[in-house]
Amino acid sequence: MKVLVIGASGLVGSHCLKYFKEKDVEVIGTYRNFKTEGTYFFDPLEENCFDFLEEINFKPEVIVHCGALTNVDYCEEHQADSENQTLTSTKVIADYCKKNNTRLVYISTDYVFDGLNGPYSETERTNPINVYGKHKLEAEWVAEKIESCIIARITNVYGEEERSKNFVAHLLSVIHSGMEKNFNLPFDQFATPIYAGDIARMIYLLVMDDKKGVYHLASTDYYNRYQLAKKVKSYFKNASHLLLEPISTQSLQQKAKRPLNGGLLNIKFTREYPQFEYTNVDAFILKNIKNGI
């Protein structure tokens, strides 16, 4: 099987690329803004963007589309850019898949829900409350027209990442730096954090078993942002320089509305893969401590 991971320099994409390689799958990855080792430049908004595949003689049977513009507040203020990078790009990729009989895995988000009654199952009604969520949902509608498509919704992803951009990894880097830093964190935004390595393993199973449809990928944790940061800090005795302040979402005055009671229920995946062992935040921190990271 040949697999193309779009957005392989990001958190989810890099873990997918790494895990598929470990499973001896013939896989390549792409980058757009940040190049990592072994990735190819790819911009779906450029004309003839897929020509590079012919140049390297690689015809994917599966595309895992991890590329995303995830700055929610930026999307709110730059709606045209958000539409191009999320919706238009997915249309280009979906069109390639249709023409080449290629399966598509589209990575989506719990922001397609309004956050009133989460965490959410796959059967619950979507109702995005910001531009980012709206465009992700519209991209889902494009992707689902491909008969063999998998839509994998995720949220609050953490894990090893070259730039340590994700929230948990950033907290760990601040702790290890010893530099004082203050975080004002909402106590009323709840979600289900998931380890990027688990996402890669889950997607691999779904792809290899020819699954299709919507899957919610989540772990066993459910935290608000402040609780999650406190959990990370609790493992380090000398972390007094990491200052955590619980505040309301309203007081943050963010440009885009946030789903407050968000998160995802992975009942469907667990029913189909009951022996799957999930990583939680505690296990990830302990692994980092053991490895001296």
Mean pLDDT, the chain, as a whole number?
Answer: 96
- For residue 164, the model assigns a pLDDT of 81
Rounded average pLDDT over 97-116: 98
pLDDT grade, residue 108 (50/70/90)? very high
For residues 9 and 66, give the distance between their C-alpha atoms in angstroms, rounded to a whole number.
9
Q: Pick from 65, 105, 72, 107: which is nearest to 89 by CA?
A: 65
Report field, pTM of the whole predicted structure over 0.95: yes
- For residue 193, the model assigns a pLDDT of 97
Q: Say whether pLDDT at 114 is over 70.
A: yes
Name which of 89-93, 164-168, 204-208, 251-255 the model is least confident about. Answer: 164-168
Q: Say how many CA atoms lie within 13 Å of 252 toward its Cβ.
A: 19
Name which of 43-52, 84-93, 156-165, 183-192 the model is least confident about. Answer: 156-165
Map out the domains of the chain with their CATH numbers. Answer: 2-164+193-220+262-281 (3.40.50.720)
Rounded average pLDDT over 168-190: 96
Name which of 115-124, 139-148, 228-237, 283-292 the model is least confident about. Answer: 283-292
- For residue 58, the model assigns a pLDDT of 98
Q: ∠67-90-104 over CA atoms, to 5°?
A: 85
pLDDT grade, residue 293 (50/70/90)? low
Question: How many other β-carbons are positioned within 10 Å of the β-carbon of residue 248?
Answer: 12
109 versus 147: the higher-pLDDT residue is 109
Rounded average pLDDT over 35-59: 96
Question: How many other β-carbons are positioned within 10 Å of the β-carbon of residue 24?
Answer: 8
Q: What percent of the chain has pLDDT over 90?
A: 95
Q: Say whether pLDDT at 103 is over 90.
A: yes
Rounded average pLDDT over 116-143: 98
Rounded average pLDDT over 83-94: 98
Q: Pick from 59, 38, 13: which is nearest to 200 by CA?
A: 13
- For residue 165, the model assigns a pLDDT of 86
Q: Say whether pLDDT at 292 is over 80.
A: no
Taking a C-beta distance cutoff of 8 angstroms, is the pair 233, 171 a contact? yes
- For residue 290, the model assigns a pLDDT of 87
pLDDT grade, residue 291 (50/70/90)? confident
- For residue 216, the model assigns a pLDDT of 98
CA-derived radius of gyration, the chain: 19
For residues 145 and 94, give the distance between their C-alpha atoms in angstroms, rounded to a whole number.
8
Rounded average pLDDT over 225-238: 96
Q: Say whether pLDDT at 162 is over 70.
A: yes
Q: Pick from 181, 197, 86, 165: which is nearest to 133 by CA?
A: 86
